[in-house]
Amino acid sequence: MKRKREEEEKSSTKMEIVWQTPANPPQKHDYIFLNGRRHVRPYYFEFIAHAKNRWAGKTIVDLFAEEFKGRPYDYYVSAVKCGRIQVNGERVPVSYIVKTSQKISHFLHRHEPPVKICDVPILQNEPDVLTVCKPASVPVHPCGQYRKNTVVGILQAEHGLAPLLPVHRLDRLVSGLLILARNATKADFFRQHIEAGMVHKQYIAKVVGEFPEDEQVVDVNINHNAREGRSTAEVGDSCGGKAACTKFTRIDTNGTYSIVLCEPITGRTHQIRVHLQYVGHPIANDFLYLSEHATDRSIEGMSADRAAVNTDLSLTSSYYENCVDEYEQPSEDFSIDPMCTNCPNLAPKGYDGYEEGLWLHCFRYSGPGWIFECPYPDWATLN
């Protein structure tokens, strides 16, 4: 074991490594298409965090082993020895004691999660605004584990469109209209309308059961638990959370499912999903909110939402903890890193390749003097 670690350290220090930063734009050749998924060729990246108070007094190796359990202890020992873990931009010994607020860098062979093989259809391309139909499973912008496998990244790689400033956000598993400003002035124009409550947002959802024929207005607070990646409806005199209001109108039903128009008045995390669950008609494929046991199912991997709560040691100082499942082997060559705990797999461990987008779709945003629309998805018709 000792000899193997020494060989890994020796080979890793001899490797010609090009470290990428946010200044490195995504390119077409960064993507590998395999088994219905868009993968990103693994690349080297510096993840940065600043030492928290509870980290102070720990050795650099113990800090990583205790806080970031996704990799074995031996890996962190090797990473410190060969300089892949640094403090304030300098190499340190494995016995180094961490101090509060120090810059901690972890240089990693980064493996991004796959997304569905989907184009990002451009709906309107104007000098100061771009609208697209966002596919489900693709996040809007770099966050957590995703950087190149994002709407912004794909548009830059495939169409040379940059900079792009998202006017609003859609959850990763939600599809539909996404408005992106082409400059800061236009972004501020939309921001002012949104903050003034002048923007009308419309979504459609496919829900369980026969939704009531009369319009339903749900005015129930929502409390979001970021750690669990889940929100709850809060009712009663001592309810917590933030005020939230959504209007629902039935479009069609066959008794088993209903297509519902959803018009959120506020913009809380998972608002539409939680309010539909509250009225007894959750989105039909939303395992996170289908029942009171949904959280357990999500942990067990039945819900695609699990990927949304996994994050890296990044500029926001959070970290992704790897799972232990194996993933498909890539059909194309890419640089194998001898120290990487994900290689030779293309995706991070824990991604089984199956992921279904939610039956929730944004189709229209409108404000004073402007309106943007997106076509309905295939699932929006009940046969």
Pairing of β 43-50 and β 85-87: unpaired
- The residue-averaged pLDDT of 55-72 equals 92
Greatest Cα-to-Cα distance within the chain, rounded to the nearest angstrom: 72
**The domain 121-304+356-380 is classified under which CATH number: 3.30.470.20, 3.30.2350.10, 1.10.3470.10, 3.40.50.620?**
3.30.2350.10
Task: Choose which CATH entry (3.40.50.300, 1.10.10.60, 3.40.190.10, 3.10.290.10) describes domain 2-114+305-309.
Answer: 3.10.290.10
Question: What does the pLDDT look like over 113-149, one tens digit per residue?
Answer: 999 888 899 999 999 999 999 999 999 998 888 999 9
Question: Mean of the pLDDT values across residues 184-201?
Answer: 95
Q: pLDDT tens digits for 43-60?
A: 999 989 999 999 999 999
Decide if 174 contacts 360 (C-beta within 8 A).
yes
Query: In the β-sheet with 19-20, what is the strand arrangement from edge to edge?
Result: 19-20, 43-50, 103-110, 85-87
Q: What is the pLDDT at residue 7? A: 52
Top mean pLDDT of 98-112, 233-247, 305-319, 330-344 is at: 98-112
Residue spans in the chain of domains classed CATH 3.30.2350.10: 121-304+356-380
- Three-class DSSP category at 6: helix
Show which residues are catalytic.
171
What does the pLDDT read at residue 33? Answer: 92
Q: How many residues does the chain have?
A: 383
CB-facing half-sphere around the CA of 134: CA atoms within 13 A: 34
CB 252 within 8 A of CB 373: no
Q: What is the predicted pLDDT for the residue at 166? A: 96
Q: How far is CA 299 from the centre of its chain?
A: 16
- Residue 236, beta-bridge partner list: none
Listed range (208-222, 235-249, 261-275) with the worst mean pLDDT? 235-249
Residue 193 has φ and ψ, to the nearest 5°, of -65, -40
Number of CB atoms found within 10 A of residue 291's CB = 12
Dump pLDDT digits (tens) for 316-373.
233 222 232 333 444 456 778 888 988 998 888 877 666 689 999 999 999 999 999 9
Predicted confidence (pLDDT) at residue 240 exceeds the cutoff of 70? yes
Predicted local confidence at residue 160, as pLDDT: 94
Instruction: Give the SS3 label for residue 314.
Output: coil
Whole-Å CA distances, 304 to 144, 227, 361: 15, 16, 16
Q: Which of 193-207, 235-249, 281-295 is least confident? A: 281-295
Instruction: Give the CA count within 13 Å in the CB-facing half-sphere of 256.
Output: 2
Q: Are 241 and 226 in contact (CB under 8 A)?
A: no
Element (H, E) at 295: helix 294-299
Task: For residues 287-309, give the mean pLDDT.
Answer: 48
Eight-class DSSP state of 344? T
169-181 residue pLDDT tens:
999 999 999 999 9
- pLDDT of the residue at 322: 29
- What pLDDT shows up at residue 67? 92
Q: Which residue's entry shows tokens 């128009």? A: 261
Q: Which residues make up the CATH 3.10.290.10 domain(s) of the chain? A: 2-114+305-309
DSSP class per residue in 35-96:
TTEEEE--EEEEEEEE--GGGTTSBHHHHHHHH-TTS-HHHHHHHHHTTSEEETTB---TTP
The mean pLDDT value of the chain amounts to 84
| Burial of 102 (C-beta count, 10 Å sphere; 0-12/13-18/19+) | middle
Q: Is 329 exposed, middle or buried (0-12, 13-18, 19+ CB in 10 A)?
A: exposed
**pLDDT score at 352:** 63
**What is the token pair recorded at 333?**
């060559």
